[in-house]
């Protein structure tokens, strides 16, 4: 009788443990290095922009997808930051989460 109660519990634990384990979204070391380099390229380009210095904009990259966050003074600056990021080598997609002050 005890065996009938323990077996389903053990099976359930095994299913949970293996069902939750997924390396599908893991980055390789090379991808991580590429993403860091892409973030630096976008950040450097934004920082050296002659019109706007983008001192309050942060850049994060995951698998070539760039996320911009932080603050700018107006919509034109926000749009320009997105265009700069899109033109940067290594960028596959841009998510612009920059907010206006």
pLDDT digits (tens, 9 = 90+) for 68-99: 999 999 999 999 999 999 999 999 999 999 99
Q: How many domains does the structure of the chain reveal? A: 1
What range does the domain containing 96 cover? 31-100
Residue 69 located in a structural domain: yes
**pLDDT tens-place string over residues 22-64:** 455 688 999 999 999 999 999 999 999 988 889 999 999 999 9
Phi-psi region of 66 (alpha: psi -120 to 50; beta: other; left: phi over 0): beta
For residue 36, what is the domain's CATH number?
3.30.1340.30
User: Is residue 11 scored above 80 in pLDDT?
Assistant: no
Residue 46 located in a structural domain: yes
Model pTM above 0.85: no
Per-residue model confidence (pLDDT) at position 34? 96
Per-residue model confidence (pLDDT) at position 53? 85
Residue 21 located in a structural domain: no
Tell me the C-alpha distance between 66 and 80, whole Å: 15
């Amino acid at each position: 009788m005890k065996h009938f109660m323990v077996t389903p519990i053990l099976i359930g634990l095994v299913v949970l443990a293996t069902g939750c384990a997924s390396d599908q979204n893991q980055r390789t070391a090379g991808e991580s290095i590429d993403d860091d380099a892409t973030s630096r390229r976008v950040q450097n380009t934004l920082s050296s922009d002659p019109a706007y210095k983008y001192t309050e904009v942060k850049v994060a990259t995951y698998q070539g997808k760039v996320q911009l966050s932080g603050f700018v003074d107006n919509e034109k600056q926000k749009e320009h930051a997105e265009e700069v990021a899109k033109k940067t080598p290594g960028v596959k997609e841009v998510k612009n989460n920059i907010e206006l002050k």
